[in-house]
């Protein structure tokens, strides 16, 4: 349980950090050199759920990065749909992709798939790096 909490905190922090970089980059594209970044406290527990990828990362070890990245992208889209729908029902969802023509249910943007692909592989790397040496050897 301690290991899971450790991974949860690390995934939550990594997700928050990546989101801040992503939103600051979007500001840069709009020529806002202040580089403001936006996120929500809700995003920490949502990103933390990537800790659930740990057993899957161990199972998929040795598979190609394309396969693994696609699996993670699908899981992230699923998590985004579930958490976004749940938060929307409570008027708490910090994101609304309704303006994008690539949106699904206003909570998923299909054009973000490449970002989620890379993010999934980063979560995998973090989770496998946090494994004890005995688990890595197997």
From first to last of the 138 residues of the chain, give the pLDDT tens digit: 899 999 999 999 999 999 999 999 999 999 999 999 999 999 999 999 999 999 999 999 999 999 999 999 999 999 999 999 999 999 999 999 999 999 999 999 999 999 999 999 999 999 999 777 545 554
Residue 134 has what pLDDT?
A: 42
Task: List the alpha helices (DSSP H) in the chain.
Answer: 2-29, 43-48, 54-59, 65-89, 113-129, 133-137
Nearest by Cα to 76 from 99, 100, 96, 56: 56
Residue 131 has what pLDDT?
A: 77
Residue 1 has what pLDDT?
A: 86
Longest dimension (CA), the chain: 49
Quote the tokens at residue 113: 């798939």
Cα gap 37→20, rounded to integer Å? 5
Nearest by Cα to 14 from 108, 130, 112, 119: 119
Nearest by Cα to 47 from 23, 18, 88, 87: 18
81 burial level (CB within 10 Å; 0-12, 13-18, 19+): middle
Cα gap 95→125, rounded to integer Å? 27
């Amino acid at each position: 349980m301690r290991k899971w909490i450790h991974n949860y905190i690390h995934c939550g922090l990594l997700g928050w950090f990546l989101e801040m970089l992503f939103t600051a980059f979007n500001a840069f594209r709009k020529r806002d050199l202040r580089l403001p970044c936006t996120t929500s406290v809700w995003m920490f527990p949502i990103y933390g759920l990537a800790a659930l990828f740990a057993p899957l990362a161990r199972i998929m070890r040795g598979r190609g990065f394309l396969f693994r990245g696609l699996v993670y992208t699908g899981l992230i889209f699923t998590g985004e749909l579930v958490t976004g729908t749940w938060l929307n029902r409570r008027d708490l969802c910090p994101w609304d992709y309704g303006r994008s023509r690539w949106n699904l249910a206003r909570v998923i943007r299909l054009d973000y798939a490449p970002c989620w692909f890379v993010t999934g592989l980063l979560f995998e790397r973090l989770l496998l790096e946090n494994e004890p040496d005995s688990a890595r050897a197997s």
